Amino acid sequence: MQNIDMNRVVGKCHILFVCIDSLRYDVAFEEQQNGGTVVLNRFGPWRKCHAPGNFTYPSHQAMFAGFFPVDEGIRNMKERETLFFSEDIGMGRKAPEGAYTFHGPTWIEGLGQEGYDTYCIGGVSFFDKRTDVGKVMPSYFKHSDWNPSFGCKVKESAGHQVEFAMRKLRLAPEGQKLLMYLNISALHYPNYFYVQGEKKDSKKTHAAALRYVDGQLGKLFAAFQDKGKTFVICCSDHGTCYGEDGVWYHGINHPVVTTVPYKHFML
């Protein structure tokens, strides 16, 4: 059931989209329940959802076209919550109630046409612009940035990304509506270094990485609150396995990979 009218958001609020790349639902839920994610817990519980893809590239292509994770239990696609609706596709090409109809191949570009200044702060290699594939999704944004300190192998990556985002916010003109996307890479492999002495990625190190990310997000949310009313989408693009049923990592249709946490909220 639609719980927000995006037609009351677009043009009136900043929009912040945070994807915590590779975050598993079970770990997100456990940290929610035990108080490990103090910041994210302030904004309501995670919704248990099905991802639109089993690794970063297909999942993001779907989300940027408006196909976000679908709540578990949905049996009829007409019942899914739709934030952004493409005028080019869909059942009867009629936007569901509460959805914002965008023009163009992605809602990112659609909002750019509506006057938003759009920013991408990359994390994993699909956003690093060092290869032709790595240039595709950043090209949807008016501004896109990546540097090695944002990447998976850097323990402080999320802190670097958040500080960079906050600098961009400070430089943005007053009154300019902003759409900012962050691809948080910290939970993607490798993440063993978030637990001292560990040599291999595991649920334990994944959870420690999430707690680290949560500690960084508070500063970003506060900066957007200072900038103005902001609608936040926060989710994972896919989960990742650590040996369940003999499966390691992602790109495979295993329930751990295809079940993801999702929430949206207003700052």
Average pLDDT, the chain: 94
What the block records as the tokens of 161 is 């990304």
Q: What is the CATH topology of the domain spanning 6-266?
A: Alkaline Phosphatase, subunit A (3.40.720)
Mean pLDDT by 10 residues, the chain (267 residues): 84 97 98 97 97 96 95 82 83 76 94 96 94 96 96 95 96 94 96 95 97 97 95 97 89 95 96
Output the pLDDT for position 74. 83
Instruction: Please give the sequence-ordered ranges of beta strands (E in DSSP) within 14-166, or none if there are none.
Output: 14-20, 47-50, 70-71, 84-86, 100-102, 117-121, 143-145
pLDDT of residue 80: 83
Spans of all domains in the chain: 6-266
Among 237, 267, 266, 260, CA closest to 29: 260
Q: Residue 170 burial by CB count (10 A; 0-12/13-18/19+): exposed, middle or buried?
A: exposed
Task: Count Cα neighbours of 86 within 13 Å in the Cβ-side half-sphere.
Answer: 17
Largest CA distance in the chain: 56
Instruction: Tell me how far apart the alpha carbons of residues 51 and 71 are, in angstroms, rounded to a whole number.
Output: 9
Instruction: Quick: pLDDT tens for 124-155.
Output: 999 999 999 999 999 999 999 999 999 999 99
